[in-house]
Amino acid sequence: MPHVGDIIILKTDSSIRNCKEFTCQVQVLNHPGELKPGYSPLAVVRTARSIVRMRRINWKISKETGEKVLEPFNVKAEEMAEVVFVPQQPLVVDCFERCEGLGSIAVLEGNSVVILGKVVGVVF
């Protein structure tokens, strides 16, 4: 029987499976501190959920300056960034262009949403 978070596909379809890491374009909503590589929140994609570890921040755009900073040390609230996450449990995601449902992600800390984003790259 299927469980919450399971995705049902044909046995011969190999286009989608558990990912090793994925890259997201994200908006940090409301977090009191700085988010750095190593940050490990709960990520939700449709009904699936997994703890994910932030591996790297590729770039960020600050709301105050509007400038793009490559490979920053951290991201804060009200900033946009491209980050790489590594799931700690099995998680199925896909690029937003191929599947909007599997390409949208919400990152939770406690009961509040910290990050909203879309998946732009997946490594299987």
**How much is the pLDDT for 63?**
87
**How much is the pLDDT for 21?**
98
Q: What is the DSSP string of 72-114?
A: -S-B-TT-EEEEEEEESS------TTT-HHHHEEEEEETTEEE
Which residue in this structure is represented by tokens 């286009």? 15
59: its two tokens: 């770039």
**How much is the pLDDT for 16?**
84
Residue 32 domain flag: yes
3-state SS, 47-65, equals CEEEEEEEEEEEEEECCCC
Residue 13 domain flag: no
Length of the chain, in residues: 124
The span from the CA of 37 to the CA of 1, in Å, is 37
**How much is the pLDDT for 27?**
98
Q: Please return the burial class of 13, using the count of CB atoms within 10 Å of its CB with bins 0-12, 13-18 and 19+.
A: exposed
CATH at 68: 2.40.30.10
- Provide the domain limits for residue 63: 21-123
Which residue in this structure is represented by tokens 């499976």? 17
Residue 11 domain flag: no
Q: Which pTM was predicted? A: 0.92
- Please report, for residues 69, 84, 115, the alpha-carbon distance to residue 80 in angstroms, rounded to integers and kept in the order given: 11, 13, 10
Chunked mean pLDDT (size 10), the chain, 124 residues: 83 88 97 95 95 98 92 96 98 94 96 96 96
Residue 6 domain flag: no
